[in-house]
Copies of this chain bind each other. A is one copy, B any other.
Amino acid sequence: MELFFENTSLISEKEILQTAKGLMPYYEYLRSVSESGDYDFPESSINLAFDEDQLKNAIRLQKEKTTGDLKYILVVGIGGSNLGAKSVYDALYGYFDVMEAARFPKMIFADTNDPEFLNSLTQFLKTGISKPEEIIVNAISKSGLTTETMVNLEIITDILKEKFEGALSRIVVTTDSKSDLWKGAQEKDISILEIPKNVGGRYSVLSTVGLFPLLLCGVDTEGLINGARKMRTRCLSDDFMKNPAVMSAAILFYHFKRGKNICDNFFFHPEMESLGKWYRQLMGESIGKEKDDAGNIINTGITPTVSVGSVDLHSVAQLYLGGPKDKFTTFIWGYTDGDEKIVPKKGSFSELLALGAGGKKPSYIMKAIYDGVKIAYGKAGLPFMEIAFEGINAFSLGEFFQFKMMEMMFLGKLMKINAFNQPNVESYKIETGKILGNS
């Protein structure tokens, strides 16, 4: 993974270093967290990729639970509990699911309690599974108190129990060792994976939360971990101009301070849209804050948006290119180098093909569109940076996760807020609790 920002981010090296210079003490602290290797700090998620137990425990359970018969992994979780696994699954497999009907295993995500979804899921569980070995249910909740997750788990368990003897053996719970869900699962002899303490949902993708379901569907989790390891080393470099997390955080902060309240993440591969949603949570929850570190009310934050190329060029590009200059953009592009079906040179509608498209690979055409967009952004004076993946694979995704999680820690420090809590979501939960409790 490479990060490019020279010339396009409309900020000089001097200004970047000026913005980043206050980060040195925090950087030193992060180094000490990484040297400790343990989970005593809010930032401890940076140690996950180096914690061999995470992957080992997931592999052990994968071996124990699966045979070649596995067809469906039903992930029961919401927010940080499923967005990481979903982003990897969709990028590598899920986006193509309908066209690849015979490819198994497939992942299904039960997140909210949408009645239409649950009706379809109920029907599916009743008629689409013929033996217990075809399914694993992985319920993920750090606290074990997430309403949607517990409701879905109850409904799913109920159906499976009616259908199969020993249905509970097809459930794996991923939770905090101090949660009531842990205790409940233990009493019922349900398999459990631990989420290390101090690893919050949005920083948990490299823990058992992400690793276990991804292992089940055949993702190269070692590649994922190796990408994250390599990236942590880069993001712990004290040569800030070579440290992508510091650079990126400084650039985002600089433009935020100058009125850009939207950060658009423009992925030029539609299968990476879910990765964008993972990042959207990471940024939204981490730096969208009512109060600063000192407790002053500041109502701060950058609104992250996800765009998809080239689809959204035919949707919101008019707004982006002509509208208000309230956005900083990060383009994400992945190089492709496999076999491709070439566009016919003499096709059925050749006269209508854009000059130069016939006889080319689709990846070449996409690159031409992408490059055209970058030039247009430059001419319109719109600041951006670029993230280039070497390929859309587990290694690159591991790099991206680690890069962005560390970027967010640095950005939180620059914004003087706590990047690890989410106090304001309690406000609606309290009201919902009153309604459910009063009924």
CB of A184 within 8 A of CB of B290, answer no
Complex: A64 Cα to B118 Cα, angstroms: 37
Contact partner, A376, options B98, B117, B288, B431, Cβ 8 Å: B431
Q: Count A interface residues, CB 8 Å.
A: 142
- Is B341 touching A289 in the complex (CB atoms < 8 A)? no
Known A-B contacts A269-B114, A372-B428; the reply to A315 vs B281 at CB < 8 A is: yes
Q: Are A369 and B338 in contact (CB under 8 A)?
A: no
Contact A428 B115 (CB under 8 A): no
Cα–Cα, bound, A374→B75 (Å): 28
Report if A365 contacts B (CB, 8 A): yes
A284-B318, A376-B427 known; A356 and B116 CB under 8 Å?
no
A305 contact from B96, B124, B305, B376, Cβ within 8 A: B305
Question: Could you say which residues of chain B place their CB within 8 Å of the CB of A438?
Answer: 356
A219 is an interface residue with CB less than 8 A from chain B? no
Residue on B nearest A180 in the bound complex, by CB:
B352
Are A357 and B147 neighbours in the complex by a CB distance under 8 Å?
A: yes
Chain A 42-65 interface mask (CB, 8 Å, partner B; 1/0): 000000000000000000000000
Protomer copies = 2
- Whether A349 and B150, one on each chain, are in contact in the complex, defined by CB atoms closer than 8 angstroms, is yes
Asked if A241 lies at the interface with its beta carbon under 8 angstroms from chain B, I say no
Q: Is A229 an interface residue (CB 8 A)?
A: no
* Known contacts A148-B310, A262-B262, A318-B288; A432 and B369 CB within 8 A of each other: yes
**Chain A residues touching B, majority SS:** helix
Q: Kindly identify which residue among B97, B151, B352 contacts A357, using a CB–CB cutoff of 8 Å.
A: B151
Closest-CB distance, A13 to chain B (whole angstroms): 27
A303 close to B322 (CB less than 8 A) = no
Contact B432 A368 (CB under 8 A): yes
Interface string of A176-189 (1 = CB under 8 A from B): 00001100100010
A424 touches B310 (CB 8 A): no
- The listed residue with most B CB atoms (<10 A of its CB), out of A115, A123, A303, is A115
| Docked CA distance A176–B303 (Å) | 39
* Known A98-B108, A318-B285, A428-B375: A327·B303 in contact at CB below 8 Å: yes
B428 touching A317, Cβ below 8 Å: yes
Q: How far is the CA of A326 from the CA of B263 in the complex (A)?
A: 14
A301-319 near B? 1/0 per residue, CB < 8 Å = 1011100111101111111
A290-349 residues with Cβ-Cβ distance < 8 A to B are 290-291, 299-301, 303-305, 308-311, 313-327, 336, 338-341, 343-344, 347-349
Question: Can you spell out 24 A-B residue pairs with CB atoms less than 8 angstroms apart?
Answer: A95-B116, A98-B108, A101-B101, A112-B366, A113-B366, A115-B361, A117-B270, A118-B362, A119-B338, A122-B341, A144-B352, A147-B365, A150-B354, A153-B348, A158-B348, A181-B352, A284-B323, A288-B320, A289-B322, A290-B321, A360-B439, A368-B439, A371-B431, A376-B427
Interface residues of A (CB under 8 A from B): 78-81, 83, 95-101, 106, 108, 111-124, 128, 144-148, 150-151, 153-155, 157-159, 161, 168, 180-181, 184, 188, 201, 261-262, 269-271, 277, 280-281, 284-285, 287-291, 299-301, 303-305, 308-311, 313-327, 336, 338-341, 343-344, 347-358, 360-366, 368-369, 371-373, 375-376, 379-380, 392, 422-425, 427-439
